[in-house]
Chains A and B, each alone.
Chain A
Amino acid sequence: MNPPDLDFLCALVRARSGLMLTGERGFFVETRLAPLARREGLASVSEVIDRVMQEPSGALARAVVEAMTVQETAFFRDRQAFGALSAIVLPALAADRPEGLRIWSAGCGQGQEAYSLAMLVDEAEQPLPPVEILASDLSTTALEKAQAGVYTHFEVQRGLPIRRLLRHFEELEEAWRVSAALRQRVRWMRLNLIDPFQVDQGYDLIVCRNVVSAFAPDARTATLARLEKALAPGGRLMLGAGEPAPAGFEPAPGAPCVFVRESENVTVIAA
């Protein structure tokens, strides 16, 4: 792939999704766009890029951006962090909010994270108040898969203990589908985190993992600020393993990857 094509593509992806491509960019672009070229009946990745250059606002450009943003993930990615969610974070939030809990999986990809949250809610030892789960992503392809809730043998074995598989999934011919009960717990929405987005405010737990750290700095700052606005007073923000506390937040005691507003940590400890 020639450098001008690559630069054009990286600029497009950065402008549309906030994602900043680093490392082996040429290889990454090839592996992501080759399947798209096949699907679109185009001879090569170069031809895809040519078309996008001619029509940067078209459907193909959008498909290109989406293909670059979706990442492989797993159910219960970071077991400890999800363990602390169910042992510490959810019970504490539930005690604070008997009227109901609102959870948002921001950048949900193919849905593993949202369903992991739904499983924790379903398995809660102490009954929780009604829980609403919103899951959003930029990629419509990823959202379609997430909403269908059908995963291959390989996918269900990434992070999902066998007993949870049997409890929450039904077996299809060559795959597994999330149970209807679990699917009904999640509401899906297409949303680009770098747009000035419209979601209701007042989420008690926002889970946004391994998303903003791949963003360009300006997009990262702006997105984190908007997430902060959507977070209810006393709410928790969960990021990916190793992602630093955003400005104005500090680690929640006992829960890896979870943050609270600095000004609110006193009440958290008291609770």
Chain B
Amino acid sequence: MKTCLVVDDSRVVRKVARRILESLDFEIIEAVDGADALTVCRGAMPDAVLLDWHMPMMDGLEFLKRLRQEPGGDEPAVVFCSAENKAERIREALDAGANEYIMKPFDGEIVVAKFSEAGLL
């Protein structure tokens, strides 16, 4: 079973994401911000990361940059999932090593499409 780390400071979003991803046979780990997520990744790299942008402590972009510098940190497929919908910002996320990008709000169908694009399904 593949693992997906869901990183979002909103409990509601984590819950929705968990429900969708569990139905796609992912085992879910949750983190509330980038710092929390980095700790999880240092323990064991997940197969996928669903990543919010704006979070307290460490935001998604900063987490992604640090993740990609960790040993094995280039392996997880990272799918950004953010209300940050400006082309310029999306490009920034891709340059930092994101594999795909979901603009909030999203639904299950979009998650399936984006995870397929990222080679996760």
- A residues with CB within 8 A of B: 74, 79, 153-154, 157-159, 161-163, 165-166, 170-171
Q: Are A159 and B94 in contact (CB under 8 A)?
A: no
Closest to B109 in A: A158
- B residues with CB within 8 A of A: 85-87, 90-91, 94, 100-103, 105-107, 109-110, 113-114, 116-117
Question: Can you list 14 contacts pairing A with B, beta carbon distance less than 8 Å?
Answer: A153-B85, A153-B105, A157-B114, A158-B110, A158-B113, A159-B113, A162-B94, A162-B100, A163-B94, A166-B91, A166-B94, A171-B85, A171-B86, A171-B87
A-B contact number at CB 8 A: 37
A153 to B105 Cα, complex, angstroms: 8
A87 to B37 Cα, complex, angstroms: 39
Q: Are A162 and B90 in contact (CB under 8 A)?
A: yes
Contacts of B86 in A (CB 8 A): 171
Given known contacts A166-B90, A166-B91, is B110 in contact with A79 (CB within 8 Å)? Answer: no
Contacts of B114 in A (CB 8 A): 157, 162
A153 to B84 Cα, complex, angstroms: 12
A159 to B86 Cα, complex, angstroms: 19
A86 to B54 Cα, complex, angstroms: 38
Say how far A51's CB is from chain B's closest CB, in angstroms. Answer: 36
Contacts of B90 in A (CB 8 A): 162, 165-166
A163 to B93 Cα, complex, angstroms: 11
